[in-house]
Every structure is written in structure tokens, then in C-alpha cells.
């Protein structure tokens, strides 16, 4: 993983040396909405029967592009890694338990924008929230912070002067937790300011 991140940073720096002649300093806001498939290395709870789940991700990135291809910024949002209904086999007296694992990423991002493509990496923490609800009883919540990496590649179509829109494919990896999540969705980029 460290080798991948190191190679990506070196590649980004090497490509960013070639400044675009018509580029300007810009601040961009990128919003993504996606569906994802999450794979756990081990089953998440003792009652779980599967290691694969579907979920969703809604992310926002604020990126500063200082007159070349490489942009830096911050990313946050809301991710649902898993949502499952658990029951104890053979015991109908105990109601079903709803278990949800969500995360709020707080990442520093590096983004490249050659032509209509955009790709990048976010490195930082995920504030994990585990929620258990027994029928209508109050929830039991727990939280933790885990470090992880998020990489993406997207393509953009211009829909207005300041707006672009297109598909995005991304990957979240929380290696210490054994969680990997592949997401496909839609991205919208807005040029907040150019100077």
C-alpha cells in the first residue's frame, strides 16, 4: 500500500511540473454520489452470514488548483459500508437486530485533472459509527477512528460554463479493519472561483 501511494505521489508531481499555458488558479467543489460494494476480510459480527454488502457514499471535495495539473484540498462526506438485519437462528423470542456501519472521511486529497479526466487520492481518517437497533428500542452506538485511503478516477462532460458532470469509479481501503469498498457513481464539479 505504501509503495502504491509513493508511486502515485511521484507520478502526480512529475506530471504537474508541465504547467498548462492557459490555466489559472482555481478553487473547485466536487460532489459525488455513488453506490458501492463493500468486502470485509472477516465477517463483521459473530452473527453475520456474509462478508459482502452494498452501500452508498456521498462525498464532497474542495480543491485548489494552483496553475498546474496537480490540485490539493480536503474531502469529507458520509459512507454506508454495511447495513444488515441479524437474528439468532432457532430463537423467535428475540427480535431482529439492525446493524449499520457508517463512516465520515476526513481526508487531504491530491487530484490530477488532465483534459476531461480526473483522478486522485485522499489520505486521512475515517470516523466510524457502528449502530445497533433492536426493533424500536433505542440505539446502541459506538465510534472509532481508522486511517485509510480513497482513490478515484472520473471523466467529465461540460454542461455549463462553471459545471461539469460525469461518471466516477472509486475505492476506499481501511486496511487495519480489513475493509475494501468499490464505488461507482456520478460526480458534479463546480468552479467556485478562478483568479
Integer Cα distance of 195 and 183 in angstroms:
33
Compute the average pLDDT of residues 177-186. 94
Report if pTM > 0.75. Answer: yes
Strand boundaries in 25-178, DSSP class E: 25-40, 52-66, 70-86, 97-112, 117-134, 140-155, 157-158, 163-174
Domains belonging to the chain, first-starting first, are: 2-194 (2.40.160.20)
How buried is residue 138: exposed, middle or buried, by Cβ count under 10 Å (0-12/13-18/19+)? exposed
| Predicted confidence (pLDDT) per residue in 107-142, tens digit | 999 999 888 899 999 999 999 998 888 776 767 788
pLDDT-derived band of residue 5, with 50, 70 and 90 as boundaries?
A: low
Beta bridge partners of 58: 33, 78
Do residues 164 and 158 make contact, with C-beta atoms less than 8 angstroms apart?
yes
| Predicted confidence (pLDDT) per residue in 36-76, tens digit | 999 888 777 666 677 788 999 999 999 998 877 889 999 99
Amino acid at each position: 500500500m505504501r509503495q502504491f501511494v509513493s508511486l502515485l505521489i511521484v507520478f502526480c508531481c512529475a506530471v504537474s511540473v508541465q504547467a498548462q499555458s492557459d490555466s489559472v488558479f482555481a478553487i473547485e467543489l466536487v460532489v459525488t454520489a455513488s453506490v458501492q460494494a463493500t468486502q470485509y476480510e472477516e465477517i463483521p459480527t459473530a452473527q453475520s452470514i456474509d462478508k459482502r454488502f452494498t452501500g452508498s457514499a456521498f462525498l464532497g471535495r474542495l480543491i485548489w488548483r494552483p496553475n498546474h495539473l496537480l490540485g490539493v484540498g480536503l474531502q469529507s462526506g458520509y459512507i454506508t459500508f454495511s447495513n444488515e438485519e441479524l437474528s439468532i437462528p432457532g430463537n423467535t423470542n428475540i427480535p431482529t437486530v439492525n446493524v449499520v456501519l457508517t463512516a465520515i472521511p476526513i481526508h487531504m486529497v491530491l487530484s490530477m485533472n488532465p483534459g476531461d479526466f480526473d483522478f486522485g487520492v485522499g489520505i486521512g481518517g475515517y470516523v466510524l459509527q457502528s449502530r445497533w437497533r433492536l426493533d424500536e428500542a433505542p440505539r446502541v452506538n459506538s465510534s472509532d477512528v481508522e486511517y485509510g485511503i480513497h482513490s478515484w478516477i472520473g471523466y467529465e462532460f461540460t454542461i455549463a460554463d462553471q459545471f461539469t458532470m460525469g461518471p466516477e469509479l472509486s475505492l476506499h481501503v481501511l486496511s487495519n479493519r480489513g475493509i475494501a469498498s468499490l464505488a461507482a457513481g456520478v460526480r458534479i464539479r463546480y468552479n467556485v472561483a478562478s483568479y
